[in-house]
Amino acid sequence: MTGFKRIGLVGRPDHSGVVDSLQRLLTLLAAKELTVVLDDITAGLIDSSGQQVCKREELSSHCDLVIVVGGDGSMLNVAKYVAADQVPVIGINRGRLGFLTDISPDDLEARVEDVLSGKYSVESRFLLDVAIKRKDGLEILGCALNDVVLHPGQAAQMIEFELFVDDKFVYSQESDGLIVATPTGSTAYSLSAGGPIMHPDLNAVVLVPMYPHSLNSRPIVVDGDSEIRLVVAAKGSLQPQLSCDGEVRYTASAGDEIVVTKKDVALQLVHPLDHSFYQACRSKLGWGSRLVRVDD
């Protein structure tokens, strides 16, 4: 995957550093005589005269590489649009943690130069599809790179549901909900709820209960190809919500059957050659570095 000619740029609004990084990218790409495509939101952040502009959901059909300037939230937003076309994505971190956007603004030119010259690695990150089961089949509600979450919404109330994995009954539960997270999402909301950190190469999904009404309820890691089904309890007063990467997609009703499965296409995430997941954990999560040994 080399020889990028048409570069899509996506920037996070309302962040002063993003504009600076976008301007530097435009200068770099212009010097290399590469075509730049801006999504309509990013075009409003900078002087986009002379640049090709399209809607964000159409971006991947106009370019062969997308550079996201922002935080992990910006990458999550872009992922659902570009994964289907298998357009690779790389991130310039202008957010906080930056597990998905791993290029520092200080190294922007050098790192992007490396990518454009073919010095990079590509990592496939799978997404989850979430659907509601209807009499005539499944209705897709959305997809998520990090997690699908069943939660109570604005009201503080316990949710009752049943969990099935590959049509096998696991348990019924009363809790604040359930997080269904990919390895990518294992360092996000799932981690805050007590879930394990999973290496991105794993083909696995973690099911993390949120404040369960039982001391015995713990996160469960299942095969990534499993079909996960949640059946909302037949209790009319409950109206839990279903979110994909933090965006509400559906308000559930009593008796609804929610189905979560692996999406058939993955996001192609570009990294610098020296990228290490463990180094990212050390940096973002404050893990200890190697001990310094002093000779006697």
Say how far apart CA 28 and CA 49 lie, in whole Å. 17
Q: Is 225 a catalytic residue?
A: no
> Judging by DSSP bridges, how do beta strands 228-232 and 168-175 pair with one another?
unpaired
Quick one: CA torsion of 94, 100, 197, 141, rounded to 10 degrees?
110
Nearest to 139 by CA among 147, 129, 149: 129
Q: Report the SS3 class of residue 77.
A: helix
Give strand pairing partners of 210.
Answer: 177
Give strand pairing partners of 53.
Answer: 38
Nearest to 232 by CA among 175, 167, 156: 175
Q: Report the SS3 class of residue 72.
A: helix
Say which of 39, 72, 102, 147 is annotated catalytic.
72
- What phi, psi does 137 have (nearest 5°)? 135, -160
293 class by beta-carbon count within 10 Å (0-12 exposed, 13-18 middle, 19+ buried): exposed
DSSP 103: B
Active-site positions read 72
